[in-house]
Chain A
Amino acid sequence: MRVYILFIIALPLIFSCEKVINVDLNEGQKKVVILANYMAGDSTVDIQVSQTTNYFGAANSVKINTATVTISDQNGNTQTVPFIANGQYRLTNYPGTIGNIYTVSVTYNGTAYTSSSTLLAPITLDPITYELTSDNDPFGPSEEGYAASVNYNDPVGETNYYQVYTVINHIDESRFVLDDKLNDGNAVSEIAAEALELNDTVNIELRTINKNIFDYYTELETITDGSGAAPANPTYQWSNNALGYFSSFVGSKQHIIVQ
């Protein structure tokens, strides 16, 4: 569930004003960043390898094109993930088995980074619903329009973690994660897209993810934000402390056109 409790802390901002300032930063050592997704529903392994850059630099990341990337299951069956272009490595026609533990290994400059993920069974996604809303976030921009919700039934008695992957008009991607701490076994309805207009297309994929991925995204949103009390990197998901994650999942999909 997403709670807007942090609204409260934003309260003083009613009186505030903002300006861009110059800050001298202590540039740290460069770190390897690996974003690895095994989309078992599409039999595709998609991996991006890059490096951190200076904060005020023009580029947001520097791609790494010379890494060696492999994926294996718990039985030791290993396949190479070939380099495509621009820091991207992709393996297709790699079907998965629910319950298998997959491990990705990335070797760059003599250091091997590994991370594992268990492939979990998907949860059926119910049809997307939408309704006309008006100005429901007092602090955010005024967002009048249609809001589309993701709907599903959380299985009772087990702990589940989800990632909702939304694409509007085949372009605008967004992701958020959910757990069932407060709504185990319930019919869940969460707004996944806002400020939609008539004839917008909404594609939603519900991914059943591992706990470490839920934690990773939660940390990414809460603690890398410099306005918190103690900003820090999310817990490392890769050996040898590379940034990023490895998530394997089977997505459950729905789409709708706002009419």
Chain B
Amino acid sequence: MKNLCLLSLLLFYSFGFSQNYTISGSIKDGTNGEDIFEGTVKVKELSNVGAKTNAYGFYSLSLPAGSYTLIYRATGFEPIEKSVTLDKNVKMNIELGVDPEVQKLEVVNVSAVKENENITSAAMNVTKFNPKDIETIPVLFGEKDIMKTLQLTPGIKSAGEGNSGFYVRGGGADQNLVLLDEATVYNASHLLGFFSVFNSDAVKDVSLYKSGIPAEYGGRASSVMDVKMKDGNNKRFGASGGIGLISSRLAVEGPIVKDKGAFIISGRRSYIDLFAKLSKRPSIRNAKLYFYDLNLKANYKLSERDRIFLSGYFGRDVFGFGSQLSFDWGNATGTMRYNRIINEKLFSNTSVIYSNFNYKFSQGSGAQGFGVNSSIEDWNVKQDFSYFANKNNTLKFGVNGIYHTFKPGALSSSGSGFNNIKLDNRYGVEFGAYVQNEQKIGDKFTMMYGLRYSGYSMVGGKSFTFDDKGNKLTERTHQKWETVKYHHGIEPRLSMSYVISDRNSVKLGYNRNFQYLHQLSNSTTSTPMDVWVSVSNNIKPQIADQIAGGYYHNFFKNKLRVSAEVYYKHLQNQIDYRNGADLLLNNEIEGELVYGKGRAYGLEVQIEKKKGKFTGWISYTLSRSLRQFDQINQGKEFSARQDRIHDLSIVAMYKVSKKLALSATFVYYTGNAVTFPAGKYEVDGQVYSYYTERNGHRMPDYHRLDFGATWYFKERKHFEHSLNVSVYNAYARQNAYTIDFRPNADTGLTEAVQTSLFRAVPSITYNFKIK
């Protein structure tokens, strides 16, 4: 009886004082019907009371009965106010960016005091962009690229010249979870990294989490890059596109049924191989070298409560030399989602996600010809809930399961020269379940805390054991669904913010992440041939623990934002190779691996100006990233390749007039840690280098200045167009791409030869939009 009393008391407490009502609905961009992610609604009369939209634009806010003024706000839009009398549950769908009459009300007043979401939001270390933010930033070949722009912000480092790979806070390039509409993208670059796979015409926004990673994400150790595709315009048909020197693109969007459903199709094709036609050598003239992308998305509102989404991506790189060599690779992803508003507080999303990366290589023909195929394929089923419990708590919880199929390679011969070889497929089931809560405590304190449980079971296939020199001891073939080895762990996530005043705040975060896949790469740049391996009876999951803190201060009425963040990261079960490891078509690749640990720490400072004619930021990172393996460098700790001590980026954009925007970026960083010879010797008459330490030297410092100018032609009612001119590497710095140590072909004397890729690269792109 006593227990029952207590229980009902709890229930009474948690369901509130019965006089609470809920305002719920959606926040959308009124010009095209796109959902707004993390749009906010605040209550003017109550401090620190409000809600924000989830990824599908849904929000819900429970308040005691009464009359309130609600302020709806989202980045890039003028805020609007709505008055509401709450004596029952209210539904309120908001469209921002239309209805200028409403907007004008007190706009100045409202926006002047409240543009400090960087101070007040709990999420720390999340970097957000949408393609509009980066429109004028100069880039290589004029192809605006959200991934390249992210690399200009603190803690996110480019993997090198012409490489879309990136390092976050000293982690490896394989430790970033790259999602496109929830689907994992295994190789996010085109043309070996000169472009990313994200076509800016199809992208709505991107968020990159560096620490305090929300519990809803799992599977990678260092960061999450969540790219959301545009939903399509559900108001009217439109098209946009661009014509550039080496690539062009076109997107078409429009309503399926006005205000109920929309679609977008966006494509891009490069034609860099046209330049190869200029070569004198026939083999280069016949070269094929291009990529294409296709993004598709459609959504339809079945009822006020139900909505479905379909999205897909297909992209491919094609490379070939006549009939002698052909190599193509690419990603395909598909996402099917079903949203349901179960009640005014509970929102559900169910997703079925497919993701595939594969490459095909073929060489020669006839007796000595052969082809190699390899792929990785995921089927992912995911169920997520958002529960807007009350004005202080927003819960998220869910589960997901991924079935991975790794086909590491098959060789098929066109003649008698080679045998057909098929490596054993590997299978795995990855599982995750999470619960997280964002809680406001009083006026000034916000916490986001969560737990994720994750596990990975390698099922079926073959397993091997090895001695400590990497020689195979035993081999076993398993039944189809038999568990070979189950790895699992608990991943706590926490981020807290304390608002000191409306100008400054402090934030603190901790996260532990498990990663059940490792990427093996034999070269300095990421290539499509890099091999993904899952955990097994030999390989343990990568585990990252990170603690981070930051101080944020806005000056001059939020016009200038300054932040300083520090972090320390500990990495377990990192992978490297034995000498001479053979990663190609190797069934027993696990025998080639050695295991170690790592740590990374750093300070990141950013000064950003968001408003006015002159905008941009300066970001500076001081950091280290170190690794230790018993079998490497005599067991001594050594610098990771990406151990760049200083990293500076300056981005400046200046709006000269309505017609002309100018921009410049400057990048400087310490050269990568590399291994150089300590001496030389001769073997069979050839000179070879002799090494004493791993990564004991540095590449020369990297720096580069880019300029861009965008001219906006006169805008018509349904048409706007612009011309973008940019120069990459304006002062033609010869940055080192590689440094080779070799004997001079003529003198025979050994020398160090630096190869650099680009001098100044000018480009011009014409962009248009029909609306």
Contacts and interface: CB of A to CB of B under 8 A. Distances in A.
Query: Which of B319, B681, B693 gathers the greatest number of chain A CB atoms within 10 Å?
Result: B681
B679 A4 contact: no
A58 B749 contact: yes
A12 B675 contact: no
Size class of the B contact interface (CB-based, 8 Å): 35 or more
A194 to B, nearest CB: 15
Interface in A9-65: 9, 11-23, 25-31, 33, 35, 50-58, 60-61
A99 interface: no
Contact of B287 (A6, A138, A219): A138
Contacts of A14: 276, 284
Interface residues of A, number: 78
Given A8-B527, A30-B679, A189 B756 contact: no
B679 A16 contact: no
B274 to A, nearest CB: 13
Nearest to B693: A26
Interface stretch (A122-130, A202-210, A224-232): A224-232
Contacts of B677: 25, 55, 226, 231
A243 B737 CA distance: 30
B76 to A, nearest CB: 36
A14 B322 CA distance: 17
Interface stretch (A68-76, A78-86, A175-183, A248-256): A175-183
A173 interface: yes
A198 interface: no
A223 B580 contact: yes
B189 to A, nearest CB: 12
Contact of B524 (A7, A16, A22, A227): A227
Interface in B668-713: 674-685, 687-694, 696-697, 700
A33 B700 CA distance: 31
A98 interface: no
Given A226-B677, A230-B576, A17 B192 contact: no
A96 interface: no
Contact of B752 (A6, A21, A53, A181): A21
Contacts of B529: 5, 8
Nearest to A149: B368
Given A35-B683, A60-B681, A135-B283, A1 B418 contact: yes
Interface stretch (B105-113, B120-128, B738-746): B738-746
B421 interface: yes
B690 A28 contact: yes
A201 interface: no
Contact of B679 (A9, A54, A135): A54
Given A4-B363, A23-B752, A35-B684, A53 B579 contact: no
Contacts of B325: 4, 7, 138
B751 A20 contact: yes
A138 B192 CA distance: 18
A25 B755 contact: no
A184 B419 contact: yes
Interface of B: 162, 192, 194, 276, 281-284, 287, 289, 319, 321, 324-325, 327, 361, 363, 367-368, 370, 411, 416-419, 421, 521-525, 527-529, 576-577, 579-580, 582, 584-585, 641, 674-685, 687-694, 696-697, 700, 734, 736-741, 743, 749-759
30 contacts: A5-B529, A8-B327, A8-B528, A9-B527, A11-B192, A11-B289, A16-B756, A18-B755, A20-B753, A21-B754, A23-B752, A31-B679, A50-B682, A52-B690, A53-B681, A55-B678, A182-B421, A183-B417, A184-B419, A186-B418, A220-B683, A223-B580, A226-B689, A229-B523, A231-B675, A233-B579, A233-B691, A234-B579, A235-B579, A243-B681
Interface of A: 1, 3-9, 11-23, 25-31, 33, 35, 50-58, 60-61, 135-138, 142, 173, 175, 181-189, 215, 218-220, 222-235, 243-245
